[in-house]
Amino acid sequence: MKRQLLSVLLALFLLPLLPAKAQTPPETWQEHWFEHNQLVSRVFYDNDLALYFDNDVSRSVTWPNQYLSDVWRYTKRTYGSFGADPRLFAIFHTGKYSGGHPSTYFDASHDNRNLIDVGAGPFTSATQGDYNLVTHEVAHIVELGGKNLHGSPAFGIWGDSKWAEIFIYDVYNALGLTSRATTAYNDFTASRDAFPRANTAWFRDWFYPIYNQYGGAQVLNRYFVQLALYFKRTGTEYGSMNMGEFVHFWSGAAGTNLKAQATTAFGWTAEYEAQFVKARQDYPFAYSVAPIAVSLFQDYNYGGYGVYLPAGSYTLSQLKAYGARNDDITSLKVTPGYTVTLYADDNFSGASLTLSSDVALLDIPAWNDKVSSIVVSANAAVAADKVAGEELLAYPNPVVNNGSLTVEVPKYDASAPVQIQLVDVNKKVALYRKENTQRVIVNTGKIAGGFYILVVKNGKNTFTKKVLIQ
């Protein structure tokens, strides 16, 4: 009991210190890139944001303070680390430098900071365009600097704004900005582009269907994981990809062959087909999505950036491909039915610690910021189900409130409907769906966070699985 009390007191004592992994940002910053030459002043900062204005920006503009902090916090929690400094740096201009540009911690040109630089303002009305602009630039940081690697292989395919559109829509949804999300959805659905062919509806025919059907933010994140695990690069610098590779890597993220979706969205030429066939030969990963078995977090109480791992063994280089940094994990969540073993050194060496439940603060001082490799394994009952080929797939798990849960039924009986229920701890049915397909996409709506039992009936078979809604 005394030891437990001591642990609680230590946790409370260290709580204010754990997220503070950055120095105080400078009060001024001299721009020295492109045509930018302003001396900008810091007007706000917290653990996630350092905000600077030039002299012409009205100091009444305060909406970016909370908004950009929330955006960057959500971005790190979803996509992982972006260098050692936990902050997003943002520079606002009025009356100059129209538009915006990003930079990442890889780039000495902008002092190795994750930066968005926007103008021409005045930003006083906090319009949809203002919100879109700053969020758009954060989207570029995600594609250019995530997973400890640099560059955007798909930039030549999706251009300056197509990835940013689905990122913006997801951010608004995640932050509960329903009106902005609806406006973005309507605007982006109506948008048409001349690439890769005339009248291409990128959002309507490609990104939104993938996002809606294959896991929301998690499928977006899995695309970048696929790149980090498999795509060609020199050191930390990516090369560029062709359309066949693009469709192959998104298929890996979605867990299904997206060639038909690509044909609808972009058309399908003989060149695309040859590229697609070669991509599957060059990068022979399967189109499957394993459930999340452990979630790692940078800070105490599941804060900071997040990293989401299925069962498997992860060296330091593999952990980096999922968005982690060395010796940087402070808390974790273990999905019921799985066990995680932490190793102090790379390649599963050094001291080890095995856990099968959530830990809000890793044992102090032995394991806080001391993890370099990990093994995640299914417990005996889960493993037996996998061997028998009878495991019900439900992912992502955990799933966010108002997110999408994909359910795949094993031994599917096409002559019978698939009936899906989420049952809470009081045995009350929180959700019911009835479909006639093996794979069903369920929206969790406004269901309260907590553990639920997923009950799936199909013909003579009934399957159950524990699901966590966050």
Q: How many domains does the chain have?
A: 3
In this structure, are 53 and 121 located in the same domain?
Answer: yes
Q: Work out the mean pLDDT of the chain and round it to a whole number.
A: 91
The CATH number of residue 318's host domain is 2.60.20.10
Q: Is the dihedral of CA 129, 130, 132, 137 positive or negative?
A: positive
Q: Is the pLDDT of residue 386 over 60?
A: no
Question: Is 228 inside any structural domain?
Answer: no
Of 146, 166, 181, which one is at a domain's C-terminal end? Answer: 146
Straight-line distance from the first to the last Cα atom of the chain, in angstroms, rounded to the nearest whole number: 30
Question: Is 65 inside any structural domain?
Answer: yes
Q: Match 């997220």 to its residue by tokens.
A: 19
What the block records as the tokens of 273 is 């087909």
What the block records as the tokens of 42 is 């810091």
In this structure, are 360 and 402 located in the same domain?
Answer: no
Which of 25-34, 191-200, 379-388, 438-447 is predicted with the least confidence, judged by mean pLDDT? 379-388
In this structure, are 424 and 329 located in the same domain?
Answer: no
Q: Is the pLDDT of residue 397 over 60?
A: yes
294/392 Cα distance (integer angstroms): 18
Residue 90 or residue 426, greater confidence:
90
Environment class of 463 (CB within 10 Å of its CB; exposed 0-12, middle 13-18, buried 19+): buried
The CATH number of residue 454's host domain is 2.60.40.3080
Q: Is the pLDDT of residue 6 over 50?
A: no
Question: Is 220 inside any structural domain?
Answer: no
Residue 168 or residue 461, greater confidence:
168
For 150, half-sphere exposure in the C-beta direction (CA atoms, 13 angstrom radius) is 14
* Per-residue model confidence (pLDDT) at position 292: 94
* Per-residue model confidence (pLDDT) at position 451: 84
* Per-residue model confidence (pLDDT) at position 380: 64
pLDDT band, very low/low/confident/very high, at 11 (cuts 50, 70, 90): very low
Q: Which domain holds residue 352?
A: 292-378
* Per-residue model confidence (pLDDT) at position 7: 46
CB 373, CB 309: distance < 8 Å: no
Which of 276-290, 331-345, 412-426 is predicted with the least confidence, judged by mean pLDDT? 412-426
Residue 371 or residue 1, greater confidence:
371
Q: Is the pLDDT of residue 13 over 60?
A: no
Question: Is 439 inside any structural domain?
Answer: yes
Mean local confidence (pLDDT), 118-124: 97
In this structure, are 363 and 419 located in the same domain?
Answer: no
Residue 46 or residue 404, greater confidence:
46
pLDDT band, very low/low/confident/very high, at 21 (cuts 50, 70, 90): low
Q: Is the pLDDT of residue 409 over 80?
A: yes
Instruction: Characterize 395-420 residue by residue with b for buried, 16 or more Cβ atoms within 10 angstroms of its Cβ, and e for exposed.
Output: bbbbbbebbbbbbbbbeeeeeeebeb
Question: Is 43 inside any structural domain?
Answer: yes
Residue 94's alpha-carbon distances to 39, 54, 280, in angstroms, are 13, 7, 48
Residue 81 or residue 390, greater confidence:
81
Mean local confidence (pLDDT), 173-197: 98
Question: Is 449 inside any structural domain?
Answer: yes
In this structure, are 432 and 359 located in the same domain?
Answer: no
Mean local confidence (pLDDT), 170-183: 98
